[in-house]
Chains A and B, each alone.
Chain A
Amino acid sequence: MSTAPATAPARESSGIRRSDLPAPVVKSSRSRRDNIHGWAFSAPFLVFFLMFLVWPMISGAIMSLTGKSLTGANSGFIGLANYTEAFADSDMWRSLGNTLYFTLISTVPLVVIALALAALVNMGLPAQWLWRLSFFSPFLLASTVVSLFFAWMYNPELGLFNDFLAKLGIPPVAWLNDPSVAMWAIVIATVWWTVGFNFLLYLAALQNIPQQHYEAASLDGAGGWRQFFSISLPQLGPTTVMIVILQILASLKVFDQIYQMTEGGPGGATRSIVQYIFEAGFTGYRLGYSAAISYIFFGLILLIALAQVFITRKRSA
């Protein structure tokens, strides 16, 4: 895929072993200059990368083995005690459960609705920009704006939602204060906020499906629905896999809108794992413990990423 000079791969493949040796005399001036240039161009990024990504990952791992506190107090190296405690911590499991629940019930509508909207808009509707504007513009809002909008619409007495329900003769719902409803309320707000992003990705993918496929199908007499299920959907397969995976990874990180609308309540019913990390570390001062939970969360993400690799491999095999 690269148009690089043919000599490059050979040089690279032996490069790693050679770098362990003292500077080889045979080295051409060109490649030495390339080494310097290459690392010089990489250096600025690398500095930030090492300082603000690699080092925090390492120091977080170290911290998770200590009783370090926000106040600076430190009960020192305590081995895996934080991890043992976390695995027995019902609050952590509950937050993790809430997070997985949110991920499940948000990913499905965020993918299905996005696909449906894209398919509809792609039917050759006029004023394409208008639909994109409508569905995508919420994505440009900060989470706080979305939370303010929806907390207001969810207001028990003054909110639009209960007003609408009342018109249908349905009794009012305590959207954000009822433990069995609150997570759904968060999901509704989240779908409104971010579905436009997946919608745009689907729209782009739909428009990239070669026209000939449809023409051939039309000649065979396939109708709109058949065309959608027999051509569009299979062609969208790779995009769907990607959207689903990215959506799952994004949903697992949920914090903003939950913290802003319910603060994890009522009674912890919507507290996500990221909020638990935040609270364990900053409300409870226990940075070490919180770092351990961060790593458990990271482990979960890695597992999902591995599952993704497994699935995509299988597909391409």
Chain B
Amino acid sequence: MKQVDFRPTQVTRRQLLLGGGVLAGSLALGAGLTGCGGAAQAATEDIRFWHLLSGGDGIKMMAMIDKANADHTEYRVKPTVLAWGAPYYTKLAMASAGGRPPEVAVMHAARVPGYAPGGLLDAWDLDLLAEYGVRPEDFGPRIWEKSQFNGQVFSLALDSHPFVMLYNTEVADKANVLGRDGRIVEISSPSQFLEVSRELQRVTGKHGLSYGYLGDGAQMWRLFYTLYRQHGAEFVLGPGNPAQVERDVAIDCLEFIKSLLDNTIATKSGDGGTAIAEFAGQGSGLLFTGVWELPTMKTAGVPLGASTIPTLFGTPAAFADSHSFVLPHQAKLDESKRRGVYQFVASMLKGSLSWAEAGHIPAYQPVVKSKEYAALKPQADYVHAADIINYDPEAWFTGSGSDFQSYFAENVQNVFLGRDKATDGWDAFMKRINAVLAMPNPV
């Protein structure tokens, strides 16, 4: 057997001292940092706030937080931003289950059923909210209804952000589809929509409509569910039972969307980036998108109009979700901090006019009814969307960025692309959903 070389000369004394010094130093430092306790306790006056808003929304949100921090000196809100969708919701659940979650967080209202029943969230205290000037009647009926779960208020909506139609007024004018009031003509049937789109296409020479959906389950679902609800059809997900849906309606909707993606009205291979670039570059007259793209389009200098998705199937309906404030469950929370959270949220709601600049419809009605809001164009043109909004079907696995939307994408994208039949795609989606419904609810 060969001998291991154990002469102590390979590490010089200087290096050993250096290494040991670094080791000891950082240990001492760490102990100092943590006060030996190890547990991370933010200073009492710090309120930890998580959200998932990046880009333009993130900048707006940061400005609103800064303003709230400037207005109130008793506490300081420290935001943490995580990536939209699964990464954020996974981490929020882990933090809540772990016992040291942030004091307040943003959550899509439709995600609450996946959190509240498991005890991951604490309910809002309406009396305390009232002390800070926030009352139930300050919210629209559909939004207030959504804020509740099992009779308690778990989420306080900052906004509703529907899926809407932006249009280029110049292009619309040239195509003779702009009314005298400067808004796009009322479109009330599928065939009329195709007609208008083709008119717009003739003007742009590229496409009539931009709709980015490739690889984006949320985008596919938003349009589908808008049209599905316009049929007045219900979509009920009761645990333990198969989903109650109207299959014919669903297939109609899929067929209609497919008919839009004919490479004339809209490109078949559009992802989010392509669609935005196309509409911003005047390559189309219409854009199906969330209201949050509004600032991008304004910056791009598009002569902009906005409306809800036209009511093509009889019943006015818009898909939407709400960014809402929730209280991740705290083992214990001292009273002053609790009040700080309520005060912070109240001031965010009251200051949501600047949030409206980002395209969202404020949930807090006093803001919506203000003169300043009425002056916001084109936001004020779709404010009525809040009365016709539809959140995702209620279940623990639905909501923005949820698995539900990925299931939809997995089965329906090929229908949109013309590779699968609508019936096959839909049935496969239903099979998937029913399999999830058959499993015990883990929340």
Q: Chain A residues in contact with chain B, CB under 8 A? A: 1, 67, 69-73, 75, 177, 263, 265-268, 279, 282-286
Contact = CB atoms under 8 A, between A and B. Distances in A.
Contact of A67 (B87, B397, B410, B442): B442
Contact of B93 (A67, A177, A282): A282
A285 B443 contact: yes
A75 B118 CA distance: 13
8 contacts: A71-B93, A71-B443, A73-B441, A266-B215, A282-B93, A283-B93, A283-B403, A285-B93
A69 B1 CA distance: 53
B215 A70 contact: no
B409 A69 contact: no
A70 B98 CA distance: 9
Contacts of A268: 410
B301 to A, nearest CB: 21
Given A71-B443, A284-B403, 13 more contacts: A67-B442, A71-B119, A71-B442, A72-B97, A73-B442, A263-B86, A265-B215, A267-B215, A267-B409, A283-B90, A284-B442, A285-B443, A286-B442
Query: Which among B90, B442, B443 has the greatest number of chain A C-beta atoms within 10 A?
Result: B442
Contacts of A283: 86, 89-90, 93, 403
Nearest to B86: A283
Contacts of B442: 67, 69-71, 73, 284-286
Contacts of A285: 93, 118, 442-443
B118 A282 contact: no
A1 B97 CA distance: 52
Contacts of B94: 70, 282
A1, A69, A266, A285 interface centre (most CB from chain B within 10 Å): A285
Contact of A72 (B87, B119, B410, B441): B119
B251 interface: no
B363 interface: no
Contact of A73 (B1, B118, B409): B118
B368 to A, nearest CB: 35
B120 interface: yes
B37 interface: no
Contacts of B215: 177, 265-267
Q: Which 7 A-B pairs have CB atoms at the shortest separation, nearest pair first?
A: A71-B118, A69-B442, A285-B442, A283-B90, A75-B440, A286-B442, A282-B90
Majority DSSP secondary structure for residues of A touching B: loop
B389 to A, nearest CB: 26
Contacts of A69: 118, 442-443
Nearest to B396: A285
Contact of B87 (A1, A73, A263): A263
Interface in B64-105: 86-87, 89-90, 93-94, 97
Contacts of B120: 71
B256 to A, nearest CB: 24
A286 B413 CA distance: 27
Contacts of A71: 93, 97, 117-120, 442-443
A72 B98 CA distance: 11
B431 to A, nearest CB: 11
Q: Which of A1, A266, A282 is packed against the most chain B CB atoms within 10 Å?
A: A282
Contact of B1 (A1, A70, A266, A284): A1
A286 to B, nearest CB: 5
Nearest to A286: B442
A282 B97 CA distance: 10
A69 B440 CA distance: 10
Nearest to B83: A263
Contacts of A1: 1
A263 B87 CA distance: 9
Contacts of B86: 263, 279, 283
B403 A73 contact: no
Contacts of A279: 86, 90
A73 B117 CA distance: 10
B118 A67 contact: no
Contacts of B443: 69, 71, 73, 285
A284 B87 CA distance: 12
Contacts of A266: 215
Contacts of A75: 440
B326 to A, nearest CB: 15
Contacts of B93: 70-71, 282-283, 285
Nearest to B89: A283
B328 to A, nearest CB: 12
A267 B410 contact: yes
Contacts of A67: 440, 442
A67 B120 CA distance: 18
From A67, A69, A73, A284, name the one whose CB has the most chain B CB atoms within 10 angstroms: A284
Contacts of B441: 73
Given A1-B1, A267-B409, A285-B442, A72 B403 contact: no
A75 B397 CA distance: 18
B120 to A, nearest CB: 6
A70 B303 CA distance: 49
A267 B441 CA distance: 25
A263 B90 CA distance: 13
